[in-house]
Amino acid sequence: MASKFLNIKLSDGSVSPLRISDVVSMKFATDVGSGATLQTDLRVTYTDGGSVKILSQVRGAADTQYVPSAAGQKTEFIRAMWQQIIAAVATPWNQPVIGGDNGWDYTVEPSAPQASEYVPQSNAAGTVGGGGDSLEAKVSTMLLGTNSASTPTTGPMSAMLSIEAV
């Protein structure tokens, strides 16, 4: 079987392919730095024993970068990566790259299946008793990160800094 790759858009605007075939495990290593200098370090290990490091940007001054630093954010990032691997396996052998020309958009699908239900127009989002929540629970959402403000807030995760073999 040919190798599969996920295009990932990095913080400098470039798109870098990450091999996602033959992945054995993914886990975050110990964070680098703390506060405004914090970076997260995801390690991807392959069946051949090789591994890759995906490093986040430095969090920077308040509201500069949002990195997956909380435990739940890291779990969601890894879950999203597994979703991309599963999507790649489902593509034909002659389509070895997923994520498009502009790279993966850092989204994750819902963690639990949602029941299908008909929402009549009279009960649509924006109306009394609105049903907009039922659609929102079924669509992909942006991965979240945390900034370094004095009272940290969450926001859409910033693009990763680099991908390199270790």
Q: Is residue 137 part of a domain?
A: no
Q: Is residue 36 part of a domain?
A: yes
Q: Is residue 15 part of a domain?
A: yes
Q: Is residue 111 part of a domain?
A: no
Q: Is residue 135 part of a domain?
A: no
Residue that the structure tokens 């990566």 belong to: 81
Q: Is residue 160 part of a domain?
A: yes
Q: List all residues 6 or more positions away from 141 whose beta carbon is below 8 Å from its beta carbon.
A: 107, 108, 110
Burial zone of 97 (CB within 10 Å; 0-12 exposed, 13-18 middle, 19+ buried): middle
- 8-state DSSP, 32: B
Q: Determine the straight-line distance between the first and last CA of the chain, rounded to whole angstroms.
A: 24
3-class secondary structure, 85:
helix
What is the residue range of 13's domain? Answer: 5-100+142-165
Q: Model's pTM, two decimal places?
A: 0.82
**Ordered per-residue pLDDT tens for the chain, 166 residues:** 578 999 999 999 999 999 999 999 999 999 999 888 999 999 999 999 999 999 999 988 766 889 999 999 999 999 999 999 998 888 887 788 888 888 888 988 887 666 666 655 555 555 555 555 566 667 788 899 998 888 888 999 999 999 999 9
Cα separation, 128 vs 120, whole angstroms: 12
Q: Work out how many domains the chain is built from and give that number.
A: 1
Assess contact for 104 and 6: CB atoms under 8 A: yes
